[in-house]
Chains A and B, each alone.
Chain A
Amino acid sequence: MRTFSELEMDALTEAFNLSLGEAASTFSAIVREEIELSVPTIEIVSREELTGRLESAQPAGATERLCRINQHFCAAGGFQTDALLLFPEHGSLEIVRRMLGDDTAIEHITELEQDALAEIGNIIINSCMSSLASLFGSEMHGSLPRVQSRTVHTLLDDKAATDVILVARIGMSMAAHNLHGFVLFIMDVPSIEHFMDRVSRYFKLQLHDTGERV
């Protein structure tokens, strides 16, 4: 499987950062509080690798659940991807409750909180998708967000083992809260090939336009 060049990675990171900047200002306007969203890293990994990495990031014996917000996107030409936003459940609940001005500690997420998380995921995923869409230059049709609470172990059980994942690690900070999560784009092999191809063509074009050499 081919990977991105360092230059392509940097450019993708930058593109995501710009999109998330938009998402952050949308949030800030909604909750009237300053919110920062950033993408520090982007990489391409397999499903097993990502699951293994998430498991090892947890303290031994921890059973922290992850909040998973899922939207499906498809574009003309057979390209399709599942966009996933992952946050530790406890932290994301704290953020939502803070946004709602309600700190009542209920162990399980309520229906309205789940809806709010869906909207937050929706804003972040759509904004990231705007970066990808501009690479494709075509429309990406997106489904409504779906919120699920899962353990790391079963997080990606519904995805094929052969799928490849574009992972963007994102940070979200609001007042005293700092939350780290991931945006994942899960693609089947034809889609990732298609995607890589588009990315490389796009950047070649960009470099060509700016007169730089690869």
Chain B
Amino acid sequence: MDCCHLLPDSVDMGLIMVDGEGRIRLWNRWIEERTGRLASQVRGVTLAEAFGPHVDPRIALVVREALDFGWSARLSHALHPMPLPLYPPGGGQVERMKQSIDITPVQGEGGPRCLLQVRDVTETVRREALLKQQSRQLRLDLLRLSQAQVELQRSEMRFRELARQAPAGLFEADAEACCTFLNERCEQILGHSLENVAGTPWINLLPVSEQARVRAIWCLAVASATRFAEEFRYVGPDGESRWIRAEAGPQRDGNDRISGFVGTLLDVTEFHERATRNEFRANHDGLTSLLNRDRFERHLRAAISGAREVADRMALLFIDLNDFKGINDTHGHHAGDTVLKTIAARVRRVLRSEDIVARYGGDEFAVLLNGTGDPETLDAILFKLHQAVGLPINLGHCHVRVGCAIGVSIYPDHGSDPLSLLTHADKAMYAAKRARYAKNDPIAHPSAQI
């Protein structure tokens, strides 16, 4: 019996029981705490009297149905948020507690009764609101993510198309220089597809002579996180040699470390060849391919300072062809050109490769012999030169011979600067020319047709 009295006050929900007349018979402690009214104050009164006018009218309806027809009913929080004026205990009567109410008929000894079970769903409502808010947020995040994915795909497609059409080779490589991407042009330049070279550092594809230099520059760019820019020679699988210029910028990973490089490869072979040709033209005589006067004088200055440092001797020779003008006049300029080219080749052949030979003027040649100062060696060289120049020259329709006069000046005997050495050699050459005329040397005379 005691237990029956204790039970309603022990449960964590509101219990109200009304009899067939609609009068309150049970009002548990849970309800007392949330209405501020004691059971003793409400026993025997109706729900309307106990709660006042602010009760959801549906409560009265379903209580009546339970008493009259024996039906149970549920008043959900969703459709009836706060049907009874109940307030959180100790919170002041500010905002009604969120409720869910079950109304069930009870058959008792004293006729039909109706039990109202009230649950506090405040926490459930809060939890579900949070859940829905998270769900909305997730949906929004998902939407953003999928939009970003679409944009990424579009951007990727754009990049692929641009890379496909780009006239330059585009590549991406990791920090170890292994390629992770090559566009079509890049594969064309290298003569390899990406899958052929993916596992190997691209520097290994270069000629062995280039590898150490380029690798050092690459490593420096990785270590200092700076741009890599270098030109190097490359021999493709077809055996063709070409010049390539690579430029690349560093890429960083999530930890701000250098993860690799992305950049361009250009085939600069043509540009290189043109530059080499231009440089050759600037320094060489177009007809004989010997050094020109300007370049020769620069060599001379360098040689003088070199010889000065090691206290060496060297000889400067001036070679002037005899009666070259006569050949030009007689056989034409084309024949004159042939004579000059032949003489240039012969002089070049007679001398060592380190000796410098230049076409100094119209029919004048200059020679710089490093480390050659003693008279015996010099005489031997002069003799060979005279012999070589004096051999017959085939002009196609006839042969001609030319002689030459050679003037010599020795560093440091005849001067220690270019001008004095050149002046001395020039004078010596004219002196030799005069001496040969005087001796009526056949080789020194105007060229004789053979």
A contacts, CB < 8 Å to B: 30-31, 71, 96, 99-100, 102, 104-106, 110-113, 115-116, 118-120, 122, 126, 129-130, 133, 139-145
Contacts and interface: CB of A to CB of B under 8 A. Distances in A.
B40 interface: no
A104 B132 CA distance: 6
A145 B62 CA distance: 14
B131 A119 contact: no
Nearest to B103: A144
B7 to A, nearest CB: 19
B104 A111 contact: no
Given A100-B78, A119-B76, A144-B74, A112 B69 contact: no
Given A100-B78, A144-B72, 9 more contacts: A110-B132, A112-B76, A115-B121, A118-B76, A119-B73, A119-B74, A142-B70, A144-B73, A144-B74
Given A126-B71, A140-B69, A116 B131 contact: no
Contact of A116 (B58, B65, B71, B78): B78
Interface of B: 58, 65, 69-80, 100, 102, 104-105, 107, 121, 124-125, 128, 131-132, 135-136, 139
Contacts of B79: 30-31, 99, 116, 119-120
13 contacts: A30-B79, A102-B132, A104-B136, A112-B76, A115-B74, A115-B78, A118-B76, A119-B74, A119-B79, A122-B72, A129-B71, A130-B69, A142-B105
A160 to B, nearest CB: 23
B74 A122 contact: yes
Nearest to B105: A141
Contacts of A140: 69-71
Given A104-B136, A106-B132, A141 B76 contact: no
Interface of B is mostly: mixed
Contacts of A130: 69
Nearest to A100: B78
Interface centre among B58, B71, B100, B136 (most CB of A within 10 A): B71
A166 to B, nearest CB: 18
Contact of B128 (A111, A119, A142): A111
Contacts of A111: 124, 128
A120 B74 CA distance: 9
**Chain A CB within 10 Å — which of B76, B102, B105, B125 has the most?**
B76
A113 B124 CA distance: 11
Contacts of A106: 131-132, 135
A124 B17 CA distance: 25
A143 B136 contact: no
A71 B72 contact: yes
Q: 7 closest pairs, A vs B, by CB?
A: A116-B78, A115-B76, A119-B76, A141-B70, A104-B132, A116-B76, A142-B71
Contacts of A99: 78-79
A197 B32 CA distance: 50
Contact of B100 (A30, A110, A115): A115
Contacts of B71: 126, 129, 140, 142
Nearest to B58: A30
Contacts of A145: 72, 74
A89 B102 CA distance: 23
B75 A119 contact: yes
B12 to A, nearest CB: 16
Given A140-B70, A144-B104, A115 B77 contact: yes
Contacts of B77: 112, 115-116
A105 B79 CA distance: 19
Contacts of A122: 72-74
Nearest to B104: A144
A44 to B, nearest CB: 24
A110 B124 CA distance: 10
Given A126-B65, A144-B72, A113 B135 contact: no
A126 B73 contact: yes
A77 to B, nearest CB: 14
Contacts of B72: 71, 122, 142-145
Contacts of B125: 112
Nearest to B100: A115
A122 B102 CA distance: 11
B58 to A, nearest CB: 8
